[in-house]
Amino acid sequence: MPLARPSPASLRHPVRLGQSLLQLAQQRRHARVHDVRFVTTHQASAVLEKYRSKLEQKAKEEGLGSVLELKEAYKDKIQEMRKQAAAQAPPPPPSPQRQGQGLSDRGVGGTGIKPLSSYLDVSKMHELPAKEIEYIWRLRFASDPLSLCAVVPLSTYQRMQATARQHPQFILPLPRPGADDGSSADEGGSAKTNAAAADVHFLQWAFHPPASGSGSGSSNTHTSTVIFTHLAAFKLHGAYAQPHTTITHHLDLADSHGIVLLNGGVVEGRGVSVEEGRWLLMCLQRFYDVQGQGQGSGEAGARDKRQGLLEKFSRGDAGFSLEELLDEAERMG
């Protein structure tokens, strides 16, 4: 029995009520309530009983008649020792580290995103032509079979980021081999037609401050990331869903060379291959750089359709069609 196709609004805003009820059902109460006065008195009494014999012996040696007289005689000294114990020692000086090491560990703005300086010597890159930088950049990740990297013209990136600020979230279909059941859509984030099937993936842009010391160029105002998550996982876990693909745009060389360096990767074992990750990046550019596509009459219609799909999804428009999105993605391939 085919399930109802989810609306764009439900894709973008997964129902949180069920998650809240689930979280409440999973909560466990292990705390115990104690009377603080009882606990404090009990601990002090236990200590006194443990050392009573030694305290009585000390009192006799001091020529005192009881433990209470001993406490009174040492009252001032006890208070002074308590004050010294309560005083906090100054923190130890930080251990020496290589210049720039802390920045690489913390990432851009404390987000955990590695700055460009953790991959390349940025100061040396400024002395090289763009073509040589592109060669070095691709060579830097050549040994990693799960990596994604590219060199994006600044003009292309500027159009993409302008669109992304208006439409930071979207979905992209990843075509799969043909399906036989002919169902239109299912709850798991897959769209199916008689001709083909596709897994649907949720993407989200984020913009962060530039890395410290990366320059004050007018174009280098931020670092941006895009994460891709299975739509089914996002609908189930929301913000806690684990992405399968992540990319970062570095603008350190944007002003000097007119290029943006992109790097990222696909997480192994999360259902997406590197080739499929590259295909998603191609679709990302086609949808977010509609103005940079071909200028023919046919391309103009495709640009308008992609722009319309973005706008309908962002508005939660009931006219958003998953089948139209799949058709457009197939046309790109």
Six-digit token string for 256 = 């000097």
Judge if 72 and 212 occupy the same domain.
Answer: no
Do the domain assignments include residue 97?
no
The SS3 of residue 245 is strand
Distance CA 64, CA 75 (A): 14
> Which one of 60, 86, 112 terminates a domain?
86
- Cβ proximity of 263 and 119 under 8 Å: yes
- Identify the band that residue 103 occupies on the pLDDT scale cut at 50, 70 and 90: very low
Q: What is the pLDDT of residue 301?
A: 80
Has residue 94 been placed in a domain?
A: no
Average pLDDT of span 299-306: 84
Cα–Cα distances (Å) from 73 to 26, 61, 67, 84, in that order, read 56, 13, 10, 19
Percent of the chain with pLDDT over 90: 47
Mean pLDDT of the 258-268 span: 97
In which region does residue 190 sit, left (phi positive, over 0), alpha (psi from -120 to 50) or beta (all else)?
beta
44 assigned to some structural domain? no
Identify whether residues 167 and 310 lie together within a single domain: yes
Q: Is 312 exposed, middle or buried (0-12, 13-18, 19+ CB in 10 A)?
A: middle
Same domain, 58 and 172: no
In which band, very low, low, confident or very high, does the pLDDT at 325 lie, cut at 50, 70 and 90?
very high
58 lies in the same domain as 146: no
Reported as a pLDDT band with limits 50, 70 and 90, residue 260 is: very high
Residue 100 forms part of a structural domain: no
Domain membership of residue 2 (yes or no) is no
At 166, the pLDDT band (50, 70, 90 cuts) reads very high
> Is 289 in the same domain as 204?
yes
User: Do 72 and 141 share a structural domain?
Assistant: no
Name the more confident of 32 and 135: 135
pLDDT at 46: 63
Give the pLDDT band (50/70/90) at residue 64. Answer: confident
The residue count of the chain comes to 333
* Residues 185, 283 within the same domain: yes
Cβ neighbours of residue 98 under 8 Å, at least 6 residues apart?
A: none
Structure tokens at 178: 């043909």
Which pLDDT does position 246 carry in this prediction? 98
pLDDT of residue 91: 43
| Local structure of 201: helix, strand or coil | strand
| Higher per-residue confidence, 85 vs 179 | 85
If asked whether residues 314 and 182 sit together in one domain, one would say yes
pLDDT value of residue 249: 98
| pLDDT tens for each residue of 168-215 | 999 999 987 654 433 344 444 555 443 457 899 999 999 998 866 555
The domain tally of the chain equals 2
The band of 21, judged by pLDDT with boundaries at 50, 70 and 90, is: very low
Q: Identify the pLDDT of residue 214.
A: 54
pLDDT-based confidence at 4, cuts 50/70/90?
very low
According to the model, what pLDDT value does residue 195 have? 40
- Residue 1 scores a pLDDT above 50: no
Lowest mean pLDDT among 1-5, 113-117, 166-170: 1-5
**Residue 223 pLDDT grade (very low, low, confident, very high; cuts 50, 70, 90):** very high
Q: Specify whether 243 is located in the same domain as 313.
A: yes
Evaluate whether residue 20 is within a structural domain.
Answer: no
Domain match, 304 and 160 both:
yes
**93 within a domain of the structure (yes/no):** no
Query: Last residue of a domain, which of 70, 86, 102?
Result: 86
Based on the fold, state whether residues 80 and 127 are members of the same structural domain: no
User: Residue 121: is its pLDDT beyond 70?
Assistant: yes
pLDDT of residue 70: 74
Per-residue pLDDT reduced to its tens digit, 35-48: 434 444 455 566 66
- Read off the pLDDT of each residue in 61-74 and give the average, rounded to a whole number: 79
Q: In this structure, is residue 99 part of a structural domain?
A: no
Report the chain's mean pLDDT, rounded to a whole number.
Answer: 76
- Residue 138 has a pLDDT of 97
Residue closest to 68 by CA, chosen among 55, 49, 53, 50: 55
pLDDT band at 97 (very low <50, low <70, confident <90, very high): very low
Range of the domain at 76: 51-86
Based on the domain organization, do 292 and 173 belong to the same domain?
yes
Position 295 scores a pLDDT of 60
